[in-house]
Structure 1
Amino acid sequence: MTTDASADAGPAAARRPSSPGAAAPTGAGHVRGHEWVDPSRSVRATITQASLDRAFTILMAIAAIGFGAANIPGLLKQLPSLDPFWAPATAIGMALSLVAVGVSAIVQRWSQAAQIVCALLFLVALVTFPLTVREALPVNQPPWPWWLCNVGTIAASLSFATWRAAVYNALVPIIYVVLRLSPAGGAVGVQRALLDGAYTAVLGIAALILIVVLRRAAAAVDVAQATAVRRYSRAIREHATEVERVQVDAIVHDSVLTTLLSAARADTPDAKTLAARMARNAIDHLAAAAADGPGEDQLVPFDVLRDRIVASVTSLGAPVQVRSVPTAGPSLPFSAADALASAPLQAAVNSVQHAGDDVTRWVTIAADGPSVQVEVADDGTGFDAHAVPAERLGVRRSIIERMAAADGEADLRTAPGSGTRIVLRWPALGADDVSGAGPGDQREARA
């Protein structure tokens, strides 16, 4: 049995599902017929820059509402010492901005605008606070904007560009230190003012650094994931192209080249009859392949697959024994059934043409649970599988790669003068489960 010629003697009607939505072989779960399914459509990242911003918005909303509520008692204590118009107006404007920040946790598209307004209104309230003071505040009462300093700095860190947020975080502590040193802010000592300013600066800068670092990390994750999806998509496309190439090569080899070779060698009435039958089957096969469209892989009953294998191998010009055929077995996807039916025929045709005269040939079919195994063997001349030229497509394209494209496998065991045995399995065994004929069998070539 060699690698050169083949014939698809089975009728083309048996090769395709009968329904209009018949499917071509499926590759890696992502190639349905001739349709490539983009994996990026179903990929949803668990951590993205958008999800991080969403979390920041929620935390900012909680902080704004919480600090705003905590500041109400201090504000009410200071109102008698403040301007009766501008102080309440400033406080109400600041309160409304805090409410807007809280609402933005629900309406995400408002978050940046609400944070910008909050940061700007806080800066206005802090700068204009001395103008609203009618009587100097007690030393133990910090100005009411003090409780909102880090609300303003964090809002700026979330909504401004990095350099603007950095300027804002540097400006707020300086303004507050100047305010605390002034009579309107309590005229506290330099040490107390600097401590309060340092506290505000440390918290604001720490929050800014954390936000910038986490956002950049999330952006890097987004880029890495997008790159991975693009590479995966490219790999799927390449896999689909490879599956299609194997199918086309197998069709051309099985249906076209073999027909031409058989017709050229036909010098007896039986050979001419076989060549004519092969030509009709080739035409039907090519027509069916051209009509194939995208869709899900349909299931083929085991008895249909079994009958097709038996009918095809027994219709050859030389006798082929069918030694074992089970009565029941699993239904297989069409791609797997087509491979398990076409590959044995290719192997049997190679044996008829190249194994020699007075050769015994046999086929064995076995079913075990969800798996099916087909063995094609002869006691002919055999060949050296490693010496087969690369341009010879028979075993490689029509048997080995055909089975691999259908998620199966083919074991080729042959040597010059020792016959040939090809074992086809679907689905393919795991690496730990696949074994050769034994320690003394050095003739196995794994697909």
Structure 2
Amino acid sequence: MDSESESTRAILDDAWGHIPQTRETTAGLGSFTRLRIERIIAVVVGLGSLALGAQALLAAVTEPVQENPAWHVPLMVMTFVPLGAMVIACALGRGVRLFAGIFAVIYPVALLLWPAASVGGEADPAREPWIWFLVNVATVASVLAFPLVLQVVWTALIPLLFGVVRLMQADFAREYWYSVTLDVSFALILGGMLTTLGWVFRSVAANVDETRARAVESYAAAASADAAEQERVAVAALMHDSVLAALIAAERAHTPRERTLAVAMAREALTRLANTEQGAEEGSDEPRDASSIADDIERAALELGVRLSVARDIDAATPPMPGRVARALVLATAQAIANAAQHAGGSGLAVTVEGSVDPARTCIAVRDTGEGFDLDRVPHDRLGIRASIFARVAAVGGTSEIHSDRRGTTVRLEWGEVPA
């Protein structure tokens, strides 16, 4: 399993190697575009906030104070310190969400304090207070810090809150209503545009990342299949030499010892030949019980387009078998089912799995009620029976036999533990 994991990781690394690697991409390979977009939004917001913050600071320092002098400096410190921290965080690309969230929360608090701070101050309907310049800064800070629902709430709440406190400062005088309405409308429109742009850019980035992830996954699957096919071709070449060597040894065997050696070489070659047809995804050699084999047969038949229910007569104490044996029996059974579906039209097709303790064995029977066939007349180049059933089962130490006549065909596969 470790080699499989390393192979999969190597394929994915090769796939991601086709994407430019930067600090943003290596931080999260599945969010390449989203990280870029977030960084761009943070930089743009930082620059815009710096410009509006400088304008607000200049107005607070140079223009006549509209709030009570005792409140002026504390309100400035309360507002500009979090704003400066947010601008620095946007420039550095670190702690952006935290400091933007702090400013987005502190600014409405400063607005709520404004009516109390402006008691005794001089209000001017033709001149906006310095805190007005930061209305949309608080809106765009919510885009950096909050989910979409809260962004919409902040976009609508902050301008309306400013309008209310501005009218409270002027005791709701009639001459203030027109200018305040214009200010609130402008802030709502600009804030809505900024929130919408942020949502659009992030949605596009998320779609691009999702498409890229699917493409890389498809590439990895194709590369894995190609690597498996190349390995299978290489193994086939090696198996050709192994089988050829076994045949030569069998031809030249004259003594009992030479015959025994030839049989061992043939069994080893057949075992390797059967195992080369298995993909890495088909599991390990962990013991399997007869019931799970029946389940695998049903799934294999379904993949062949044949829906059947395997009859089971399995003793609960039936000994399990090695995984390689189970796979060989399932594949041989699938071949028998395919033959029945192709040559007998699936007439009367039935599969039975039996398991017993004494003797310790597992038997699989595949029956159909077709016209049958003469095994001796099957051409030698037709390997569906000889290689896929007989050789495969023999390679794992099992036995197989076929009985066929005009009443139908029965393929019987059996595997039992070798007595110690």
- What TM-score results when the alignment is normalised by the length of structure 2? 0.52
Give 1:4-403 correspondences, 5 Å limit.
38-44=13-19, 48-78=33-63, 80-133=65-118, 134-184=120-170, 187=173, 188-253=175-240, 255-264=241-250
Q: Partners in 2 of 1:186 and 1:140 — Cα distance?
A: 15
Q: What is the identity, as a one-letter code, of the residue corresponding to 1:174?
A: L
Q: Partners in 1 of 2:43 and 2:382 — Cα distance?
A: 64
Secondary structure at the aligned position of 1:180 is classed as helix
Deviation at 1:191, TM superposition (A): 3.0
Q: Partners in 2 of 1:180 and 1:85 — Cα distance?
A: 19
CA offset digits 1:298-350 (Å, max 9, x no partner): xxxxxxxxxxxxxxxxxxxxxxxxxxxxxxxxxxxxxxxxxxxxxxxxxxxxx
Q: What is the identity, as a one-letter code, of the residue corresponding to 1:161?
A: P
Identity score, percent: 26
- Which structure shows the bigger proportion of residues in helix conformation? 2
Residue in 1 that maps onto 2:366: none
Q: Partners in 1 of 2:96 and 2:71 — Cα distance?
A: 27
Task: Classify 1:390/1:62 alpha carbon distance in 2 versus 1 (closer, same or farther; 3 Å).
Answer: farther
Task: Classify 1:111/1:249 alpha carbon distance in 2 versus 1 (closer, same or farther; 3 Å).
Answer: same
Residue in 1 that maps onto 2:343: none
Residue in 1 that maps onto 2:391: none
Q: Partners in 2 of 1:251 and 1:146 — Cα distance?
A: 80
Q: What is the identity, as a one-letter code, of the residue corresponding to 1:204?
A: G
Deviation at 1:153, TM superposition (A): 0.4
Residue in 2 that maps onto 1:410: none
Structure 1: 5+ residue runs without aligned partners? 1-29, 268-275, 287-387, 393-447
8 Å CA contact 2:125–2:176 kept in 1: the answer is no
Q: Partners in 1 of 2:96 and 2:75 — Cα distance?
A: 21
Q: Partners in 2 of 1:66 and 1:389 — Cα distance?
A: 83
Secondary structure at the aligned position of 2:197 is classed as helix
Q: Partners in 2 of 1:139 and 1:186 — Cα distance?
A: 11
Secondary structure at the aligned position of 1:38 is classed as helix
Q: Partners in 1 of 2:192 and 2:382 — Cα distance?
A: 67
Deviation at 1:89, TM superposition (A): 1.1
Deviation at 1:264, TM superposition (A): 4.8
Structure 2: 5+ residue runs without aligned partners? 1-5, 26-31, 254-261, 273-379, 385-420
Task: Classify 1:240/1:390 alpha carbon distance in 2 versus 1 (closer, same or farther; 3 Å).
Answer: farther
Deviation at 1:189, TM superposition (A): 3.9
Q: Partners in 2 of 1:236 and 1:39 — Cα distance?
A: 9
Q: Partners in 2 of 1:246 and 1:125 — Cα distance?
A: 74
Task: Classify 1:36/1:202 alpha carbon distance in 2 versus 1 (closer, same or farther; 3 Å).
Answer: closer
Number of equivalences: 248
8 Å CA contact 2:103–2:138 kept in 1: the answer is yes
CA root-mean-square deviation: 3.5
Q: Partners in 2 of 1:265 and 1:180 — Cα distance?
A: 106
8 Å CA contact 2:104–2:141 kept in 1: the answer is yes
Residue in 1 that maps onto 2:278: none
Deviation at 1:145, TM superposition (A): 1.4
